[in-house]
Amino acid sequence: MSDRILVIGSSGQIGTELVQELRTIYGVENVVASDIKEPHNEQNGPFEVLDILNKEQLENIIKKYQVTDVYLLAALLSATAEKNPEFAWNLNMNSLFNVLNLAKEGVIKKIFWPSSIAVFGPSTPSINTPQYTIMEPSTVYGISKQAGERWCEYYFNQYGVDVRSIRYPGLIGYKSKPGGGTTDYAVDIFHKAIEEESFECFLSENTTLPMMYMPDAIKATVQIMQAPKENIKIRSSYNLAGISFSPKEIAEEIKSHIPNFSISYQPDYRQKIANSWPQSIDDSSAKNDWHWNPTYSLEKMTADMILNLNLSLKKKVI
């Protein structure tokens, strides 16, 4: 049977772009988008309203479309999760169990579940953070991702569940807005810049974090899912690196395109979260095992973001 895909949490920052790419590869009818809320822009293809915490609803959709592979993107991200830790734990963990258990029962055959750089904490070596190192996350989001990684590995070892995972850095794209993370400033800054407004950053100027341009993140996701099973040697989650920069550095890069752009700094509760995360990541395992290689530098990403946001601004005016 050919791949039939269900993307859960498809209306979010990653889902919006991932669904488009998967439909290009596997065909529109073979990729079902689903979310608790309707997509904000038109998606031509199957869409189902699904609350991932409702296992019966999930099973019905999987049966209806004869789904083989699930990409589970629904979650509360770091900043939002800190405001409601119990709910975040419930959503982030039980969504994963619902999907892992369907694979254990043989109903689906492959799972993609994203982890995050948030699995690392203040005691982790912060430069070139290794794949295997001290992991003492200090946010509920990070704790849920770390626990999720352990469960993924457990389900692979005990039940042979083919679950694959990446520790995404902060993601930046122009097609969708981010959904409540600590790295969101790096998307918001572009929107303010092209609207010729000044930007107040909620992180301090020298807070360096690992980041990645969305096309690279989508490429990595497709690559890990298409890799032969025997190449996936890590069943918790793979470190993944793109670029690292601080608010000051990205602002300078934006200024090289928009000289009048100005930024000010007003750190809030998210500063503490950012301070607990690494500055850069060693992703040699992903490079060795499934030939991961990022394409975008800070310069290339900035030029592409500004070009595309300007194009969509022009379309809105027309």
Q: How far is the CB of 186 from ligand NAD (least distance, A)?
A: 9
Residue 40-59 contact track with ligand NAD, rule CB under 6 A, x = bound: ----------xxxx------
Three-state SS at 280:
coil
Answer with the entry of ligand AKB, ligand NAD, none that 51 interacts with (C-beta below 5 to 8 A by kind): ligand NAD
Answer with the entry of ligand AKB, ligand NAD, none that 52 interacts with (C-beta below 5 to 8 A by kind): ligand NAD
Residue 146-185 contact track with ligand AKB, rule CB under 6 A, x = bound: ------------------------x----------xxx--
94 CB neighbour count, 10 Å cutoff: 13
CA distance to 124, 133, 220, per residue, from 120 (Å): 6, 9, 20
Q: Which is nearer to ligand NAD, 37 or 150 (CB)?
A: 37
- Binding of ligand AKB at residue 78 (CB under 6 A)? yes
Q: Which residues pair with residue 71 across a beta bridge?
A: 7, 112
- Binding of ligand AKB at residue 116 (CB under 6 A)? yes
Answer with the entry of ligand AKB, ligand NAD, none that 199 interacts with (C-beta below 5 to 8 A by kind): none
Chain centroid to Cα 242, Å, comes to 13
Q: How far is the CB of 235 from ligand AKB (least distance, A)?
A: 20
Distance separating alpha carbons of residues 279 and 281, to the nearest angstrom: 7
60 to 119, contacts with ligand NAD by CB under 6 A? 73-75, 77, 91, 114, 116
Distance separating alpha carbons of residues 246 and 248, to the nearest angstrom: 5
> In this structure, are residues 88 and 141 in contact, taking their beta carbons and an 8 Å threshold?
yes
Q: How far is the CB of 260 from ligand AKB (least distance, A)?
A: 28
Q: Which is nearer to ligand NAD, 36 or 258 (CB)?
A: 36
CA distance to 52, 125, 128, 279, 287, per residue, from 242 (Å): 30, 18, 12, 11, 12
- Binding of ligand AKB at residue 75 (CB under 6 A)? no
Backbone angles phi, psi at 235, to 5 degrees: -110, 5
42 CB neighbour count, 10 Å cutoff: 5
> In this structure, are residues 225 and 164 in contact, taking their beta carbons and an 8 Å threshold?
yes
> In this structure, are residues 181 and 223 in contact, taking their beta carbons and an 8 Å threshold?
no
State the pairing for strand pair 170-172/243-245. unpaired
Answer with the entry of ligand NAD, ligand AKB, none that 50 interacts with (C-beta below 5 to 8 A by kind): ligand NAD
Find the radius of gyration of the CA atoms of the chain. Answer: 19
141 labelled catalytic: yes
- Binding of ligand AKB at residue 77 (CB under 6 A)? yes
In the set 26, 71, 132, 141, the catalytic residue is: 141
- Binding of ligand NAD at residue 170 (CB under 6 A)? yes
Q: Total residues contacting ligand NAD (rule CB under 6 A)?
A: 29
Q: How far is the CB of 234 from ligand NAD (least distance, A)?
A: 16
For 282, counting Cβ atoms within 10 Å of its Cβ (0-12 exposed, 13-18 middle, 19+ buried), the class is middle
Distance separating alpha carbons of residues 141 and 285, to the nearest angstrom: 24
Distance separating alpha carbons of residues 246 and 281, to the nearest angstrom: 15
Q: How far is the CB of 78 from ligand AKB (least distance, A)?
A: 3
Q: Which is nearer to ligand AKB, 116 or 276 (CB)?
A: 116
Q: Kindly list the residues in this chain that would bind ligand AKB in the complex (CB under 6 A).
A: 77-78, 116-118, 141, 170, 181-183
Can you give the binding site for ligand NAD, defined by CB under 6 A?
8-9, 11-15, 35-37, 50-53, 73-75, 77, 91, 114, 116, 168, 170-171, 178-181, 183
Q: Name the residues annotated as catalytic.
A: 141
